[in-house]
Structure 1
Amino acid sequence: MTDDSWFGVTPEPVANQVAHDMYGTDQKKHILIDVFGGAGGNSIAFALSERWSRVISIERDPSTLACAQNNAKVYGVAPGLITWILGDSFEYLDRLFNRPEELHPDLRVNLDETVLFASPPWGGPGYRTDEVFNLYNMQPYNLEDLHTAYNRLDHALFLPRTSDIRQIARLAPPDRKVEVVQYCMEGASKAMVAYLPGKCSKALQ
């Protein structure tokens, strides 16, 4: 594990609970793209949940990606269940949505069967000190950057525990709701996840 990947890894109990909570999402959607794969904590939890037929994990740092691949072996993830991509997730999604013919056939997916999970970096002024964190100040990618890139599909955002819920609520499509869950360890919140419906998806009946 690199120093940076240790710092950014999701605690295993939290990753497992997030994977458990996403088990109940639309069963027609069986492909999950982890757009900030990091050292693989979330991707591995999703793969081991047996909910997804395929997990795609994207990481732009080769050393961190190598750690993730090794971690998947250590945890016994079946070969081929996770597709590893070394690259920029925003570039990948832009091609997937707009120019899929530019992608290798193995990297194309049916968008109607796909959801996104994003655990972005949490940099920016006030992240550690503000009582309520302004997500439009988050760096290097703020809430608008993330939502613009992801809003076509159902997506889950792993965010600081003090994130401004009002900002998240405004992202819901008309007549739809956003679910926000706080994830705790030993009585203290570690993060929140906002589960956002995509603008092209239909509400579950």
Structure 2
Amino acid sequence: MSPAKDSAVVLPQTRKQRKRFKRKVKIRVKRKTQKVEKLKDRENVTPLVKKYWLQRYDLFSKYDVGIRMDEEGWFSVTPEEIAALQASRCSGAGVIIDAFAGVGGNAIQFAQVCHHVIAIDIDPKKIELAFHNAKIYGVEDYIDFIVGDFFQLAPSLKGDAVFLSPPWGGPSYKAKENYTLDLLKPKDGHSLFQVAQEITPNIIMYLPRNIDMLQASELSWLSSPPLDMEIEENFVRGRSKGITLYFGNIVLQSL
């Protein structure tokens, strides 16, 4: 007996068609999950760091892979492009000391071109975040993460170069027409530089773009004879972000 004209004959899907359908479903679910995660991420961004969130890929190119930051990290981490440039000066070096590691932006870049990094921060939460972020970049095995005060640890530290990016005092630093070294935290820039000098003359110091350049240049005279020094203005997307000072052998050559 032939089937009725209004009846439907459902043909079984081929294996290839079923796989294709499942793949499409997985892609939709993945995209929906990513969208939800991004919305949650954006909801957790406070008004203070909203504009930094918009620049998140300048801070970490792998931000979407799972980078984590606290509020201070948003406005204190060195943009990745600048951190990579600073690290390139130490390519091949043995040990780099990152005195104020924060959420790990600079330590990660140093670890990609140097043999080993000592990342120090007095805040346990920041060290936890720095370790997590280093895992995202696959360099956690090349970094020793230490919770502690750089000034107390310095006498026992040995390294080929010291990187100094102390807190600038938050976003309000921009309001200063002439940012002086005494505004740095937790100690003034002169004291900080002298402590680093006891470890090595090879120092990289990242400072605000409105730093008092006369004061900055005087740092080289804290050593006898004066250290070689180089001043570099750093830009991201054509906008000035900071000033990097290089001292010692890294002014002229890689370590």
TM-score, L = length of structure 2: 0.64
Aligned partner of 2:147 in structure 1 is 86
Which one-letter code corresponds to 2:186 in the other structure?
P
Cα deviation for residue 166 of structure 1 reads: 1.4
Which one-letter code corresponds to 1:83 in the other structure?
D
Which one-letter code corresponds to 2:127 in the other structure?
L
Tell me the SS of whatever aligns to 1:22: coil
The reply to whether residue 12 of structure 1 matches residue 77 of structure 2 is: no
1:57-97 deviation per Cα after TM superposition (whole angstroms, max 9, x unaligned): 011111111111010111111x531011111111110233x
The reply to whether residue 68 of structure 1 matches residue 130 of structure 2 is: yes
Residue of structure 2 aligned with 1:161, choices 209, 214, 226: 209
The reply to whether residue 150 of structure 1 matches residue 209 of structure 2 is: no
The reply to whether residue 45 of structure 1 matches residue 114 of structure 2 is: no
Contact 1:123 1:140 in 2 (8 A): no
Equivalent residues in 2 for 1:1-205, closer than 5 Å: 1-23=69-91, 29-49=93-113, 52-77=114-139, 79-96=140-157, 109=158, 111=159, 114-123=160-169, 127-152=173-198, 153=200, 154-172=202-220, 173=223, 174=225, 176-197=227-248
Distance across 2 between alignment mates of 1:128 and 1:38:
20
Cα deviation for residue 129 of structure 1 reads: 2.2
TM-score, L = length of structure 1: 0.78
Structure with a larger share of its residues in helix = 2
Tell me the SS of whatever aligns to 1:85: strand
1:12-31 deviation per Cα after TM superposition (whole angstroms, max 9, x unaligned): 112112212333xxx6x521
Which one-letter code corresponds to 1:119 in the other structure?
S
Contact 1:121 1:141 in 2 (8 A): no
Distance across 2 between alignment mates of 1:95 and 1:21:
24
| Unpaired runs of at least 5, structure 1 | 97-108
Which structure would you say has the larger RCO, counting Cα contacts within 8 Å and 6 or more residues apart? 1
Cα deviation for residue 175 of structure 1 reads: 5.1
Say which one has the larger Rg. Answer: 2
Between stretches 134-143 and 84-93, larger displacement belongs to 134-143
Q: How many residues align?
A: 179
| Unpaired runs of at least 5, structure 2 | 1-68
Cα deviation for residue 139 of structure 1 reads: 3.4
Distance across 2 between alignment mates of 1:59 and 1:83:
11
Which one-letter code corresponds to 1:180 in the other structure?
I
1:143-184 deviation per Cα after TM superposition (whole angstroms, max 9, x unaligned): 112112112311111100111221122222325431111110
Change in CA separation of 1:75 and 1:168 when aligned onto 2, cut-off 3 Å? same
Which one-letter code corresponds to 1:185 in the other structure?
V
Cα deviation for residue 187 of structure 1 reads: 1.3
Q: Identity over aligned residues, as a percent? A: 34
Which one-letter code corresponds to 1:11 in the other structure?
P
Contact 1:15 1:41 in 2 (8 A): yes
Tell me the SS of whatever aligns to 2:89: helix
